[in-house]
Amino acid sequence: MGALTLKTPAEIESMRQGGKILGSILRELGTLVEPGATPLDVEYRAAELFEKYQVTPGFSGYKGYPNICCIAANDHLVHAIPTDKPFQKGDLVKIDCGCILDDLYTDAAISVVAGGEEAASATTRNLSAATKKALNLAIRLVKPGTKVGDLSHIIQKTVENAGFSVVHELTGHGVGYSLHEEPTILNYGKKGTGIALKPGMTFAIEPIVTAGERFIQTLDDRWTIATRDGSWGCQWEHTVLVTENGHEILTA
Ligand code: MF3
Ligand code: CO
């Protein structure tokens, strides 16, 4: 884990550009999640898009990770290696990608339903909406002086009020010179605790939420993290910059 760093204006500009590209790449990849298509189809398109935009995938080779994207369906939460198993109508699919431009990392993830929102169960729709809301409410609090624990608290409160659980072991994190820097942003916690945010800090906020219990397991491929109880999970993630008087979402 890298140290907590404040980025210079030039570094922020690189992260802004890289983050914007990452946002566009994820948006396009999301449209490929259709019944019958496979995670590997998405991975191959990701390779083309990183090439097209002349940016470097942020996950490939990270701790030996073999792919560009993590693509996790249903009870698989995160860090899932893309397979050739076709998506089925109604699957909840998480696509998580990192991007490097000028040696600076950004990190973002989306959740999409194979076959479109209408194909999802009511629980799945609510799960995704609650996770996204938790992310957005946390982002709204980002400004100088806010404590990291304030973000953790609002994520937990939003998710649990909706009847879902946050995974304790998976966290948001500083990002920039490396994929994971300080501070760690827990998805549960108490208001007013932890360090205060400062202008120039950049971090990824990523609520990871399950419809059932919060407990997780790592599968036999040694990467994929799934729920223990088989309940479905969701993830939304953005890289955010703390500005002088608020914030900017770098991966919008
Ligand atoms: N977005 C993921 C995270 O912050 C990064 C996945 S690392 C990989 O934990 F090695 F799985 F790619
Ligand atoms: Co991340």
Give the fold, CATH level 3, of 9-249: Creatine Amidinohydrolase (3.90.230)
DSSP 90-113: T-EEEEEEEEEETTEEEEEEEEEE
Q: How long is the chain? A: 252
- Distance separating alpha carbons of residues 81 and 94, to the nearest angstrom: 12
pTM value is 0.98
Give domain limits for the chain.
Answer: 9-249
For residue range 170-193, list pLDDT tens digits in order: 999 999 999 999 999 999 999 999
Q: Which residues line ligand 1 (CB under 6 A)?
A: 59, 62-63, 65, 70, 79, 96, 107, 173
Pocket test for ligand 1, best of 50, 70, 187 (most atoms within 8 A of CB): 70
Q: Whose CA is nearest to atom 6 of ligand 1?
A: 79
| pLDDT tens, the chain, 252 aa long | 899 999 999 999 999 999 999 999 999 999 999 999 999 999 999 999 999 999 999 999 999 999 999 999 999 999 999 999 999 999 999 999 999 999 999 999 999 999 999 999 999 999 999 999 999 999 999 999 999 999 999 999 999 999 999 999 999 999 999 999 999 999 999 999 999 999 999 999 999 999 999 999 999 999 999 999 999 999 999 999 999 999 999 999
Query: Which tokens go with 233?
Result: 């999970």
- Distance separating alpha carbons of residues 95 and 60, to the nearest angstrom: 14
Give the CA angle between residues 247, 240, 251 to the nearest 5°.
120
Q: How far is the CA of 116 from the centre of ligand 1 (A)?
A: 26
Q: Report the nearest atom of ligand 1 relative to the CA of 98.
A: 1
- Distance separating alpha carbons of residues 36 and 246, to the nearest angstrom: 43
